[in-house]
Structure 1
Amino acid sequence: MENSSHLLVFLIAIASLCSTITISFCNGTVNVFCKESERQALLGFKRDLKDPMNRLSSWKGSGDCCSWTGISCDNLTGHVRELHFGNPFKTIFGIPDPFDIYPEEADWRYALSGKINPSLLHLNYLNHLNLSYNDFEGIPIPSFIGSLKNLTYLDLSQAGFGGVIPYQLGNLSNLHYLNLLSNYPTMKVNNLQWVSSLVLLQFLDMSWVNLSKAYNWVDVLNMLPSLMELRLSGCELGHSSPHLSMINFTSLAIFDVSDNENFGLPRWLFSLTNLDSLYLSSTFLGGPIPYGLTSMTRLRILDLSSNLLNSTIPEWLCGFDRLESFDLSVNELKGTIPSAIGNFTSIISLNLEANQFEGKIDHLLRDLCRLRELWLGYNKFSGTMFESFERFPCAANSLEQLWLSDNQLHD
């Protein structure tokens, strides 16, 4: 009987404990604090940073580091999962606006600088690291970042890193997002083979990184079957594997190789039939608009600006009824605009500036009921502009921006 009584007391105690745990979790009253070792690691990281605007003022020696600026922790374990140190400020009339940022308007007074302390290696559960739009004054990307193997997101864009990108980043096999967009002229790679290990990568931006020595860049990227967005503007790209027999990154939706004068138009490019956006600005394209584009009927954005294209606009191009933004500005295109351009029923932005187009523009407005931006300046268009608007009020009602300077149009 006594044993039964003890057992009953024990079961009541267990039931009470379980009940307490359940209620605590349901009511959100359980406080999970960050780990002491991780708090010390963060303080070590802070010690090597220069923070002129005191952005990390909440980082104190005591207290819960999960509540510090830029830190996100796991709600159940307290482990640090995300570090958000990107410069979040945009200047509007001298006032930083943390909710809206454009790279060219980042307020560099708020940039962090200094060194990246390897104490970050003690953050064993870190999966998100953002250091973008800071100013590390040309120091190389620390190779130890390649040991943060749980990272799925790494953003070092425009952070002032220079020198050779460490091949150790290839150890980050869990990465889905990698942004190395450079604002420092010395950033480069000697070999790009390490990228082929990032088989889960969906986003890659290496714009303005010198890739002139990466002769096999296409072959390397062809080993990334999950890649959806690829940006390589201004990378001094060399030969692009013209004899490549098969393209594996068929999931690619956004491809930007602007400002690469030696890119040309490799045959494999036109097999990327799932592309949503294609940027070929300033790639020294000459001659007619490439017929190979006919395979890319899913395009929503097409930028062929600042090239040497010298043909008329072909009728076949007007069949791209999904296009929302089309830029042909600063070329040597000529002739009249084909009436079939009215088939661009989805077009929102159309830029034909700085060419040698002529004739009337009535048919530009006929069926373009979603058109908001229209650039026609620096051409030879003629006719009566306001009569066109009267005849086609659909486009006239939707237009928000219109550029007509240096033509032969009249009221």
Structure 2
Amino acid sequence: MTVANTVEARCCFKLLYAIVVVLLLHMSSPCIGCSERERQALLALKQGLVGDDGDLLFSWGREAQNRDCCQWDGVYCNNETGHVVKLDLGGMYLRGKISPKLIHLQHLEYLDLSFNDFNGSKIPDFIGSLSNLIYLSLSEANFGGQIPNQLGNLTHLQYLDLSFNEDFDSENFFHAKNLNWLPNLSSLKHLDLTSTNLSDVVGWLEAVNMLPKLTNLILQGCNLPPPIISSVSIMNCSNSLVHVDLSLNNLNSSIFQWLSGTHTNLVYLDLSENYFRGPSIPASFGNMSSLVHLSLYYSELEGGIPNSLAKLCRLRRLELYGNSLSGQLTNFVEILSECAQNTLEYLDIRGNNLSGRIPESIGQMSKLETIDFSQNSLEGF
């Protein structure tokens, strides 16, 4: 045997030896299943829940073949520790009560109970004891009552959705006397409190401003009172916001002062169906150069459309209908057609008091799919 053949044989032997060792280790280290404590907690949770379409949690059982809760529907475990880290029960249309034994899932990071029916019951205070939660969605789950302050204990939370469809019984909506718990969620990136009654929360803007990582703020239909704007509230506001929906509230033009010139990273802004009662859109909105979606319809706006708004070159959707905007469109449309000709897809300015001719330059907008200038006094339409 040559030296080369000897070296090759030794390499093959070492490779084969390594493969055998790995196989033996794998055989001697079976997959880690969930702990008995966590399994019992999940079984207690199941006991308190029922579904409309039979046993939707049929895989959650006591039988020998179902003992590993990491294999149950909607349950996800850490591969190394076996601890339950994710519980996804969204959209199962479950009814009943949440067992307090849920707090035994202390490693839980993700909890989704959305689109179930908890019959207007209050959010259990003990959810605030799940201190490792990063994601919490109770959207459309028919919880109600006052939001518990214990949610402020979820200091690792990045996503919170308590939204509710406004078409449901308003008696079961969430409400809050204050948002003192909110600033504790310093890691929060997404906040949706749609249809939560916040009419008594005078300091809601201050609470929002204390969330340094917040990117998505959705407070649609919350009966928000007009914020009290101060130099402190403007200076302390976060520049991380990308998506803001404050539609269907009782806001006035003071909100413009908070937004203008400070939130230059906004991509989506919806202030529709508020009560601005007179003042026009501030020219400083033109500084929001990243805006893709801007909605200000049915908000009692008056005055002209500032030309600076036409300089938002990334706009895809602009909704200004149902106001009392006046003046001519000539300069606005010409600037808009030059700036956003390759992006704007939807333009609706119907139902205002605009006059004059519509410039032919509107035809330069190659991406425009929907345009509505009706119910104005415009020529050439």
If the length of structure 2 is used for normalisation, what is the TM-score? 0.83
The C-alpha deviation readout for 1:84-122, integer Å capped at 9, x for no partner, is 1111xxxxxxxxxxxxxxxxxxxxxx5212111111111
Instruction: Name 2:100's counterpart in structure 1.
Output: 118
Q: Is the 8 A contact 2:226 2:254 kept in 1?
A: no
Q: 1:363 aligns with which of 353, 360, 365?
A: 360
User: Which of 341, 344, 347 is the equivalent residue of 2:336?
Assistant: 341
Contact kept? 1:212, 1:238, Cα under 8 Å? yes
Cα contact 1:309–1:333 (8 A) shared by 2 = yes
Superposed structure 1 runs of 4+ greater than 6 Å apart: 16-21, 24-27
Contact 1:70 1:83 in 2 (8 A): yes
SS class of match (1:193): coil
- Residues 371-410 of structure 1 mapped to structure 2, 5 A cutoff: 371-383=368-380
Q: Determine if the alignment matches structure 1 residue 269 to structure 2 residue 269.
A: no
1:318 deviates by 1.1
What are the Cα deviations for residues 25-70 of structure 1, in whole angstroms up to 9, with x where unaligned?
A: 889x943322222121111101111211132222222312222221
Residue-pair matches, total? 346
Alpha-carbon distance in 1 for matches of 2:22, 2:107: 26
Question: d(CA) in 2 for partners of 1:357 and 1:24?
Answer: 80
Identity of aligned residues (%): 38
In structure 2, how many angstroms separate the alpha carbons of the residues matched to 1:216 and 1:60? 48
241, 245, 265: which one aligns with 2:228: 241
Normalised by the length of structure 1, the TM-score is 0.78
**Alignment CA distance shift 1:358-1:23 (3 Å):** farther
Q: CA RMSD in A?
A: 2.5
* SS of equivalent to 1:366: helix
CA drift at 1:170 = 0.2
Instruction: Tell me what 1:279 maps to.
Output: 270
Displacement of 1:360 after TM fit?
Answer: 5.1
Match of 2:87 among 83, 88, 103: 83
Query: Secondary structure of the residue that 1:261 maps to in structure 2?
Result: coil
Q: Partners in 1 of 2:229 and 2:78 — Cα distance?
A: 48
Does the 8 Å contact 1:58/1:69 carry over to 2? yes
Matches within 5 A, 1:59-208: 59-62=60-63, 63=66, 64-87=68-91, 111-183=93-165, 185=170, 186-208=173-195
Q: Is the 8 A contact 1:264 1:283 kept in 2?
A: no
- Specify whether residues 354 and 135 from structure 1 end up closer, same or farther in structure 2 by C-alpha distance, changes over 3 A only: farther
| Deviation at residue 21 of structure 1 after TM alignment | 6.9
Separation in structure 2 between the aligned mates of residue 364 and residue 133 of structure 1, nearest angstrom: 47
Q: What's the counterpart of residue 251 of structure 1?
A: 240
- Partner SS state of residue 302, structure 1: strand
Asked if the contact 2:275/2:300 (under 8 Å) is kept, the reply is yes
Going from structure 1 to structure 2, the CA distance change for 1:131 and 1:375 (only over 3 Å counts) comes to farther
Q: Equivalents in 1 of 2:201, 2:118: separation in Å?
A: 25
Rounded Cα–Cα distance in structure 1 between residues aligned with 2:226 and 2:250: 11
SS of alignment partner, residue 23 of structure 1: helix
Distance 1:154 1:21 in 2: 43
Which residue of structure 1 aligns with residue 8 of structure 2? none
**AA paired with 1:283?**
N
2:254 aligned counterpart, secondary structure: coil
Contact 1:353 1:376 in 2 (8 A): yes
Aligned partners of 1:368, 1:68: CA distance in 2, in Å?
53
Deviation at 1:238, TM superposition (A): 2.0
Q: Is the 8 A contact 1:121 1:148 kept in 2?
A: yes
1:361-390 Cα shifts (integer Å, max 9, x gaps): 56364221222333344445554xxxxxxx
SS at match of 2:244: strand
- The 3 A distance-change label for structure 1 pair 263 and 140 is farther
8 Å contact 1:247–1:268 — kept in the other structure?
no
CA distance in 1, matches of 2:182, 2:372: 40
Q: Tell me, in whole angstroms, the C-alpha distance in 1 between the residues paired with 2:24 and 2:130.
A: 34
Find the aligned partners of 2:157 and 2:24 in 1 and give their Cα distance: 35
Moved more, 334-343 or 200-209: 334-343
Secondary structure of 2:175's match?
Answer: coil
**What per-residue deviation string (whole Å, max 9, x for no partner) do you get for residues 325-347 of structure 1?**
11112212244433222022221
Counterparts of 1:135 and 1:366, CA distance in 2: 50
* Structure 1 stretch displaced more, 223-232 or 167-176: 223-232
Deviations 1:132-171 (A, max 9, x none): 1222111010000000000000011121111100000000
Alignment check: 8 A CA contact 1:353 1:379 kept: yes
Residue 197 of structure 1 and its aligned partner are, at CA, apart by 0.5
**Would the aligned equivalents of 1:32 and 1:76 in 2 still touch at CA under 8 Å?**
yes
Separation in 2, partners of 1:355, 1:244:
34
Which segment drifts farther, 151-160 or 315-324? 315-324
SS at structure 1 position matched to 2:147: coil
